[in-house]
């Protein structure tokens, strides 16, 4: 009988191991992640972006679109471009960023379609127009030399026309003192 007892003990150990493995598998199954969970569609709320569209568009102003849209979508939401727009100098494929300003520039050759008084760098009173004056004409203002006039023209080309005379202070190098000297000789 000793052989029979050994066989019974081995059988008992095997049954215990099988029962223990089954219990372990049952309780550890709760912690596993099913493989197909990654294929489920998760709904995300799309964020919105608000941009300011200005320049040569039909309806300039604030436009709110969904994240991931492009500059062309914002321009179209502002009514599209007008015939004087220079669409070659704006990246219509760029992604929108919240709070950005999109300026559709004026075509250079369409500037000649403006009245002669608007094209001239000086008005009837002899004041220099900050929006239309050439670099040489800007140098006639007190405290404005070649470097500063180049910065004014560069600022104007990048950001558009000055909306008010005080906007000239946004140009690097023009502070309150220099503005006081030139404000009586300049106009917009």
48-108: CATH architecture: Roll (3.10)
The token duo for 11 is 């059988």
Do 133 and 122 contact (CB within 8 A), yes or no?
yes
* pLDDT for position 64: 95
Domain ranges of the chain: 48-108, 114-187
Helix (H) or strand (E) holding 90: none
Q: Digits of tens for pLDDT over the chain (188 positions)?
A: 577 778 888 888 999 888 888 877 766 655 555 655 555 555 567 799 999 999 999 999 999 999 999 999 999 999 999 988 888 888 999 999 999 999 999 887 644 444 444 445 666 677 888 888 888 888 888 888 888 888 888 888 888 888 888 888 888 888 888 888 888 888 88
CA atoms within 13 A on the CB side of 153: 16
Contact call for residues 182 and 143 (beta carbons, < 8 A) = yes
Tokens 């000239």 found at = 168
Same CATH fold, 114-187 and 48-108?
no
Distance CA 188, CA 166 (A): 10
Q: From residue 60, how far is each of 115, 133, 134 by CA, in Å? A: 23, 25, 27
The pLDDT assigned to 52 comes to: 94
CATH number listed for the domain at residues 114-187 = 1.10.150.320
- The alpha carbon of 148 is separated from its chain's Cα centroid by a whole number of angstroms, namely 28
DSSP code, position 32: -
Q: For residue 117, what pLDDT is reported? A: 44
Task: Give the C-alpha distances (Å, rounded to integers) separating 9 from 17, 19, 35.
Answer: 12, 15, 40
């Amino acid at each position: 009988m000793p052989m029979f007892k050994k066989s019974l003990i081995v059988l008992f150990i095997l049954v215990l191991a099988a029962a223990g493995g089954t219990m372990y598998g049952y309780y550890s199954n709760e912690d596993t992640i099913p493989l197909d969970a990654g294929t489920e569609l998760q709904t995300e709320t799309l964020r919105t972006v608000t941009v300011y569209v200005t320049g040569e568009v039909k309806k300039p102003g604030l436009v709110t679109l969904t994240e991931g849209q492009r500059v062309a979508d914002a321009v179209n939401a502002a009514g599209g471009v007008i015939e004087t727009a220079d669409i070659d100098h704006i990246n219509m494929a760029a992604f929108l960023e919240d709070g950005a300003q999109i300026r559709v520039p004026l075509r250079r050759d369409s500037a000649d379609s403006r009245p002669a008084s608007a094209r001239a760098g000086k008005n009837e009173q002899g004041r220099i127009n900050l929006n239309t004056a050439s670099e040489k004409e800007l140098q006639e203002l007190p405290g404005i030399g070649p470097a500063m006039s180049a910065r004014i023209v560069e600022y104007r080309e990048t950001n558009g026309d000055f909306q008010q005379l005080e906007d000239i202070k946004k140009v690097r190098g023009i502070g309150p003192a220099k503005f006081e000297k030139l404000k009586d000789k300049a106009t917009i």
